[in-house]
Amino acid sequence: MNRTGKLAYNAAVVIAAAAAAMGIGAIVLAAVGADIFKAYAVILTEPLKDMIGLTEIVVRAVPLSLIAMGIAIAFRSGILNIGAEGQMLMGILASSATAIACASLPKPVLIPLAILAGAAGGAAWGGIAGALKARLGVNEILSTVMLNYIAAQFYTFLLRGPLMDPEELLTGSGTPQTVRMPRSAWLDRLLPGTRLHSGVFIALGLAVVVFLLLWRTSTGFRMRAAGAEAKAARYAGVKVQRYLVLAMLLSGAFAGMAGAVEILGVHRRAIEGVSGGYGFTGIVVALFGGLHPAGIIPASLFFGLLLLGADMTQRLADVPANMVLVLQGAIILAIVSARQFMSNPYVQDKVARACAKMFRRPPPPAPPGSIEACPDPSDSVDPCLVGEDSAVGDSSAVGDNPAAGEGSVKKRGTR
């Protein structure tokens, strides 16, 4: 395929994937008897109609982008972190406990301290999964999912018990929440009358940091190498297990920071339901953003729009807000399916030849004697495939000590 052909081809794949995702959504919309076009119109345009809507999109994009960047770090390093939800909760707990305990500190000290505490909480929770994977070969998808459930229970326990606002007990309403944060821990609101807060700058700043880390430092180089082909990285002297743990620590730290920023900027106290599925949406954002900060920022805005729009569909189109989960799931399936068409030369070749056949043109002749230039499709590793590999790794690696097992006779694929 020539350059234009390739561009058109990729565009066609993207359009087809988008159509497939919206099609799956449409089936569900039809099943609830909604006006499909109206529902999509509400989701995609309604939030854009006023200032509140626009700022609320950004308010949602802040935690989403932070979580997604953490997930991108993990995915790029070859570990699928599904546990952002739990890591975020642990971050919230650590951050709010710190803010409440150190209420007397001045603002310029307390805010960074509270955010770092959130990062530490999330990192600790993520690190557990990382260490389990590195040491014992525990499948990180399963362990992070389980850690989500555990964190959710732990969160509730603290909010209903030790961390509960004493006033709730006195007045007797019993809402599980902490006391209000001290004012010195609040992130500033940027626009009066909206919830837009200075966490935006934190997210943007960290996006630059993530880019520099992954693509401009030797640490990031090693992390990406470990993620792209763990075996080769190990052969080149990279301590793959160590970088796995590091990646999970960082990934958890980002989710924890997302929680801290959300609490300090929006809710100003730890309440139930803060995470609200951000951990899972973050996965979609990370994938949609191509696991790169420059893609993740716009993707987080898009999904902020989607989340907000879905909240509005209940009122305006009589579609439950859970609809957004359907769309997210469909988008994941569409993205991972489309990747195959975009990155695999064999599939592209098949499609090109099918097209050529359809238009009765002879297939493009291969350059003579080009046997040398055989692109090996198994090599078109993209970070997502790596994630998959690690998912698989566990199939063989549950309990297998990867340090000893990975370089072993196990042949990858066949020749």
Partner 1 sequence: MGHEPIRSLELRGITKRFPGILACDHIDLSVGEHSVRALVGENGAGKTTLMNILMGLYQPDEGRILINGRDVRFRSPNDAFDHGIGMVHQHFMLVQNMTVAENVALGMKSSHRSFRLDIAAVRKRILEVSERHELPVNPDALVWQLSVGEQQRVELVKTLCLGARFLILDEPTSALTPQETDELISLLQKMSSELSIVFISHKLHEVKALSDTVSILRRGKIVFEGRTENHSPADLAALMTGHEVELPRVDSGSAARGGAPGLLSIRELRVKGDRGNLALDGVSLEIAPGEIVGLAGVSGNGQRELAEALNGLRPVESGSIRLDGAELAGGSAGDVIREGMGYIPEDRNTEGIVPSFSVKENLVLKDIGGKEWSAGGFLRLGAIADNAKALRERFDIRCPSTDTAAGSLSGGNIQKVILARELARGPKALVAVYPTRGLDMGAEEFIHKQLLARRSEGVAILLISEELEEIMNLSDRIAVIYKGAILKVVPGKDATKRSLGLLMAGVADE
Partner 2 sequence: MNAGSFVLNILILGVPFSVALLLAALGETINQRAGIFNLGCEGIMAMGAFVAFLPPFFLAGTPLAGSANLIGLALAIGVGALLGVLFALVVVTFRAPQGIAGIGLQMLGWGAAGTLFRHYVGGVTGVPGIQPVPVPGLSRIPILGKVLFNHNPLVYIAFLLVPVFWYLLFKTPWGLKVRAVGTYPRAADSLGIRVSRVRYQALALGGAMAGLAGAYLSLAQAKMFADDLIAGRGFIAVALVYFGRWNPVGVMGGALLFSLAQALQLSIQVAGINFPYEFAVMLPYVLVIVVLALVRKAKMVGPTELGKPFDREQRI
Q: Rounded distance, CA 99 to CA 182, Å?
A: 7
Q: Which is nearer to partner 2, 168 or 400 (CB)?
A: 400
Of the ranges 126-134, 136-144, 186-194, 211-219, which one interacts with partner 1 (CB under 8 A)?
A: 211-219
Q: Rounded distance, CA 144 to CA 83, Å?
A: 4
Amino acid at 86: G
Residue 404 binds to partner 1 (criterion: CB under 8 A): yes
381 binds, among partner 1, partner 2, none (CB under 5 to 8 A by kind): partner 1
Q: x/- string (CB under 8 A) for partner 1, residues 338-377?
A: -------xx-xx---x---------x-xxxxxxxxxxxx-
Interface pick for partner 1 out of 35, 311, 382, 388 (rule CB under 8 A) = 382
Chain positions 34 to 63 lying near partner 1, rule: CB under 8 A, are none
* Cβ 210 vs Cβ 76: under 8 Å: no
Q: How far is the CB of 356 from partner 2 (least distance, A)?
A: 17
Can you spell out the DSSP letters for 24-36? HHHHHHHHTT--H
234 binds, among partner 1, partner 2, none (CB under 5 to 8 A by kind): partner 1
* Cβ 110 vs Cβ 291: under 8 Å: no
Interface pick for partner 1 out of 19, 51, 109, 232 (rule CB under 8 A) = 232
Of the ranges 21-29, 59-67, 214-222, 308-316, which one interacts with partner 1 (CB under 8 A)?
A: 214-222
**CB-side exposure of 400: number of CA atoms within 13 Å?**
17
Q: Which phi-psi region, left, alpha or beta, contains residue 155 (left: φ > 0; alpha: ψ -120 to 50)?
A: alpha
189 binds, among partner 2, partner 1, none (CB under 5 to 8 A by kind): none
Chain positions 352 to 381 lying near partner 2, rule: CB under 8 A, are 374, 376-378
Interface pick for partner 2 out of 141, 250, 305, 307 (rule CB under 8 A) = 141
Pair of tokens at residue 341: 């068409």
Q: Which is nearer to partner 1, 135 or 189 (CB)?
A: 135
Residue 346 binds to partner 2 (criterion: CB under 8 A): yes
Residue with tokens 């395929």: 1
Q: Which long-range contacts (CB under 8 A, 24 or more apart) does 238-242 make?
A: 240/402, 240/406, 241/134, 241/135, 241/402, 241/403, 242/134
Q: How far is the CB of 17 from partner 2 (least distance, A)?
A: 10
Chain positions 62 to 121 lying near partner 1, rule: CB under 8 A, are none
> Would you tell me how many other CB atoms lie within 10 Å of the CB of residue 170?
8
**379: helix, coil or strand?**
helix
The dihedral formed by the CA atoms of 25, 27, 29 and 31, expressed in degrees to the nearest 10: -150
137 binds, among partner 1, partner 2, none (CB under 5 to 8 A by kind): partner 2
Q: Rounded distance, CA 330 to CA 361, Å?
A: 35
For residue 19, what are the CA distances in angstroms to 14, 15, 27, 288, 333? 8, 6, 12, 15, 12
Q: x/- string (CB under 8 A) for partner 2, residues 260-299?
A: --------------------x--x---x------------
CA–chain centroid gap for 108, Å, is 29
**271: helix, coil or strand?**
strand
Interface pick for partner 2 out of 11, 32, 44, 294 (rule CB under 8 A) = 32
Q: Which is nearer to partner 1, 311 or 349 (CB)?
A: 349
Q: How far is the CB of 319 from partner 1 (least distance, A)?
A: 41
Residue 124 binds to partner 2 (criterion: CB under 8 A): no
Q: Which residues in this chain contact partner 1 in the complex, by CB under 8 A?
A: 212, 216-219, 221-222, 224-225, 228-229, 231-239, 345-346, 348-349, 353, 363, 365-376, 378-382, 404-405, 407-412, 414-415
